[in-house]
Each structure stands twice: as structure tokens, then as C-alpha cells.
Amino acid sequence: MKKIYADHAATTKLSTRALDEMIRFLRDDYKNPSTLYSDATLPRKALADSRKRIAKSIGAESSEIVFTSGGTESDNWAIKNIAFNKNNSRKTIITSEIEHHAILNSCKIMDELGYQVIYLPVDDKGIVSIDSLKNVINEDTAIVSIMYANNEIGTIQPIKELAHITHKYGALFHTDAVQAVGHIDINVRDLEIDMLSASAHKFNGPKGIGFLYLRDGVALNPFITGGSQEHGLRAGTENVAGIVGMSIALQENIENLNTNEKYLQELEGILVERLRTYNIDFIQNGAKNKIPGNVSLSFADIEGEMLLHRLDLRGVQIATGSACDSQNIRLSHVVKAIRIPPNYANGTIRISFGTDNTYEDAIYIADEIANILK
């Protein structure tokens, strides 16, 4: 059976160029970059080159990039950092209702530690309003953390405006850009971002590696303690191959950004137009300004999970915005937050295209959805 993978927001295939570079550092140049003999020069240089490549791709300096194990660690670090900072007297964290659980569950811990956490609502497109931030921010705010783009519906937030207001109150602005880095053009300076989380496996890099951008001058306390790697900020022998693979994959994606964006939007258009020809009752979620290739659809009077399993049997892999247990259907926090009408909410699915997908894939997915629903 033909398999169509259309869940690229969950993870992406490793780039061949990245893999080829990685193999060298796994098999041949495997020495520990912290050691002093000459063989360690190559992995050490590879780390420096990778850091430079990554920094350049988001408009930062090499010294502002710290490698982590991925998006989850970067998010945890950004949120929990204020608890490690003895000089910080500010006790409020502002975030949004539609963040990834890496942020939401970190905020929950901070709440239990006595910090105040404010969750900003979103409109029906998933956008955080500037006014909602203005209404709650004050001199007690330590950090505002708003995701760049949502993983379920793709909506991109007004990052620059949100960061600008945050700075008026002397707070830090963090963004979970895991779904955005490598997919859209990001310049941390233009956008006034202080901290940014990214994860390699979302942009054709390897799993288990990511980074945290930290604007020069922002105080960060070590989260993982031990040796002096990463300027003493993040201990542990570096995942050299992973870091090299991440930097190559990111550079490759950035080189093809415009072409990829146009192509993925074409795939979206084909899918949605084809579905419309079948007279199926559905709504498309998310804002106009969204991550290319991410299509969130809610079908009337069906269960998204049923649709997911039926599509799987036909070789199509997608995601859903709800999960069933024996008695209930549990809607995702994002589906709830954007207030999808009740008869559509249960029928929410996410199709996220990648550049390996073809026009035929988009047509096939639409046809199979129509066949199942009929």
C-alpha cells in the first residue's frame, strides 16, 4: 500500500545532506571536543561552525546560541530560569492558553512554586490580542512567553508587537518557535526577541537536539549542571553529530524557504479545494498568517480520531485535535481555546505537509476523506 506521511508538524525526515555530515562525526571524528589533543580540533571546529550557521539563520550572533536536547528542554529552561535567579524579584509569568505542554506544564510547576501565571486568551483564529497583554502586564512581570506559531493550527502570533510591549515593562520576551524556525523567515533582532526555543527534528534535523537563543546581556542560569560545556550554561558532552546535522538541515531549509513556502501553500490549496468539490461540511481553522503546510480542519458531526484511524488504514498519516477514551472525547486545549463550534470540534484533524509530499498526495488525502465520510 502506498504510504503518505502528512504529519510534518509532529516530526520531519532527516535531510540527506545533514545525515551525510553527521556520519563523519559519529564514525570518524568522534573525539570529545573538550579534550586537549589535536584530534579534538575537528569536532570543536564543527561545533563552532554549526553555532555560526544556526545564529546566522535567525539573525543572531554565535555567542547567543546554547545547544539543548530539543524544544522541551529549551522551553523548560526559559520558563524556570527566573526561579534560579536570586536577583529576580518579579513573580509573574504571562503566557497564552494555546502553548505547547512544554510551556504549560513548566508554568504549572512555577505556579506551584508560588509564581503567578497569567494565561492570555486567543480569538477564534488562535491569535493573542495585543490589548490582552497590555491589560495584565506590569512591573511584577518577569517573563512573557508566547509561541511563535501554534503546532495544532499553525497560527503565527504578532511577535514583534508583543515583545515591544513586554520591554516597556522591563520584562523578558521568550517565544517557543519550535514550529516556526526553518519554516519562515525569523530575525530575532528585528522582532525584539530575548529568548527563543527551537528543535531540529521539526526542520529536517535529527531528534534530541535543539537550541535556545539568548540575547546578549540576558542573564541565564544553568539548568543542567555539571561540566563547563556551553560556557558553563549547559553541562554534558556535546552531541556533536546532532548539532552538525541540525545546523546543516537549518541552513538547507533557510536556503529554500521561499520555494518551500510557495509549494506547501499550493498543496494546501489543492487539498482544500478538492474537499470543497465533495460538498463536505467542514471549517478550516487558524489565521491567514500561518505556518505553510499546516492545515487544521474540523468536520461536522464526526470524530477526528475515527477519521485518523480510517485514513491510517488507507496509508495516510495525519494528526487529530481530539482523543477518545472509552466514554469521552477529550478535546485538545487549542481546539477548546479557539472555540470551534461543538458539532465540529470533535471532528478536528491536522494535516501538515512537507516538501516530499506531491500534488497527487493532496488529492489522494482529500478523496480518501470524502470516501470515508460518505
Which residues are catalytic, by number?
324
**Is 179 near ligand PLP (CB under 6 A)?**
yes
The three cell numbers locating residue 76: 523548560
- Tell which positions 208-237 bind ligand PLP, by CB under 6 A: 210
**Is 72 near ligand PLP (CB under 6 A)?**
yes
**Is 199 near ligand PLP (CB under 6 A)?**
yes
Quick one: 319 or 345, whose CB is closer to ligand PLP? 319
- Tell which positions 92-131 bind ligand PLP, by CB under 6 A: 100, 102
- Residues contacting residue 183 through CB under 8 Å, at least 6 positions apart: 149, 202, 203, 253, 257, 260, 261, 291, 292, 293
- Residues contacting residue 168 through CB under 8 Å, at least 6 positions apart: none
Binds ligand PLP by CB under 6 A, chosen from 7, 21, 29, 176: 176
- Tell me the sheet residues that pair with 7: 352
Binds ligand PLP by CB under 6 A, chosen from 151, 166, 204, 322: 151
**Is 12 near ligand PLP (CB under 6 A)?**
no
Binds ligand PLP by CB under 6 A, chosen from 19, 46, 107, 147: 147
- Residues contacting residue 256 through CB under 8 Å, at least 6 positions apart: 355
Terminal C-alpha separation, the chain: 22
Binding mask 17-56 for ligand PLP (x = CB under 6 A): ----------------------------------------
Return the range that interacts with ligand PLP (CB under 6 A); candidates 115-123, 155-163, 175-183, 237-245.
175-183
Quick one: 162 or 369, whose CB is closer to ligand PLP? 162
CA–CA separation, 92 and 106 (whole Å): 13
CA–CA separation, 5 and 217 (whole Å): 42
Return the range that interacts with ligand PLP (CB under 6 A); candidates 34-42, 174-182, 251-259, 303-311.
174-182
Q: Can you tell me whether residue 290 is helix, strand or coil?
A: strand
Burial 87-103 (b: 16+ CB within 10 A, else e): eeebbbbbbbbbbbebb
Counting residues that bind ligand PLP (by CB under 6 A) gives 13
Tell me the backbone φ, ψ of residue 324, rounded to 5 degrees: -100, 140
- Tell me the sheet residues that pair with 120: 96
**Is 354 near ligand PLP (CB under 6 A)?**
no
Shortest Cβ 285–ligand PLP spacing (Å): 16
Q: How many CB atoms lie within 10 A of CB 229?
A: 18
Return the range that interacts with ligand PLP (CB under 6 A); candidates 37-45, 66-74, 240-248, 332-340.
66-74
CA–CA separation, 255 and 233 (whole Å): 30
Tell me the backbone φ, ψ of residue 285, rounded to 5 degrees: -95, 165
The three cell numbers locating residue 345: 470540534
Q: For ligand PLP, which residue has the nearest CB? A: 71
Binds ligand PLP by CB under 6 A, chosen from 71, 126, 154, 245: 71
Shortest Cβ 207–ligand PLP spacing (Å): 7
- Chain residues binding ligand PLP by CB under 6 A are 70-72, 75, 100, 102, 147, 151, 176, 178-179, 199, 210
